[in-house]
Structure 1
Amino acid sequence: MKKWYAVYVRSRSEKKVGEALTSMGIENYIPLRKEWRQWSDRKKIVEVPVLCGYIFVKADLKERLEVLKCNNIVAFVRHNGKDAEIRSRDIDALKCFLEQTGVSVEQTSERIMLGSTVEVLEGPFVGYIGEMVRHNGKHKVIVRLEALQSNILVEVELEHIIEAQSV
Structure 2
Amino acid sequence: MKTWYLVTCKSRQEDRAATNICNQGIECFYPKIITERLQRGRKTIKESALFPSYIFVRLNDVNGKFSVVKNTRGINGFVAYGSKYQKVPNELVNSLINERLTESLLPESGDTVLVNNTSFKNIEAIYKEPDGDVRSIILINMLNKKVEVSIENKDIIVRGQD
Query: TM-score, structure 2 length as denominator?
Result: 0.55
Question: What is the match of residue 31 of structure 2?
Answer: 31
Give how far 1:95 is off: 2.0
Q: Which one of 61, 64, 67 corresponds to residue 62 of structure 1? A: 64
Structure 1: distance between partners of 2:38 and 2:75 = 30
Structure 2: distance between partners of 1:8 and 1:77 = 7
Question: What is the match of residue 100 of structure 2?
Answer: 99
Structure 2 residue runs of 5 or longer lacking an equivalent are 105-162
Question: What is the match of residue 116 of structure 1?
Answer: none
Give how far 1:99 is off: 2.2
Give SS of 1:57's match: strand
Give how far 1:17 is off: 0.7
By relative contact order (CA 8 Å, sep 6+), the higher-ranking structure is 2
Question: What is the match of residue 77 of structure 2?
Answer: 75
Letter in 2 for 1:99: R
Question: What is the match of residue 5 of structure 1?
Answer: 5
Distance 1:102 1:44, change over 3 A: closer
Report which stretch shifted further, 74-83 or 42-51.
Answer: 42-51
Identity fraction in percent:
27
Question: What is the match of residue 22 of structure 1?
Answer: 22
Letter in 2 for 1:83: Y
Count, aligned residues = 102
Structure 2: distance between partners of 1:22 and 1:42 = 36
Give SS of 1:4's match: strand
Q: In the TM superposition, what whole-angstrom CA distance separates every residue of 1:33-71 from its partner, at most 9, and x where no partner exists?
A: 111366559643221111111000001243222111211
Structure 2: distance between partners of 1:81 and 1:24 = 25
The structure where helix makes up a greater share of residues is 1
Question: What is the match of residue 159 of structure 2?
Answer: none
List 4+ stretches of structure 1 deviating above 4 A.
Answer: 37-43, 100-103
Letter in 2 for 1:65: S
Give SS of 1:62's match: coil
Distance 1:100 1:74, change over 3 A: closer
Q: Say what the alpha-carbon RMSD is for the aligned residues.
A: 2.4
Give SS of 2:64's match: helix
Structure 2: distance between partners of 1:43 and 1:23 = 35
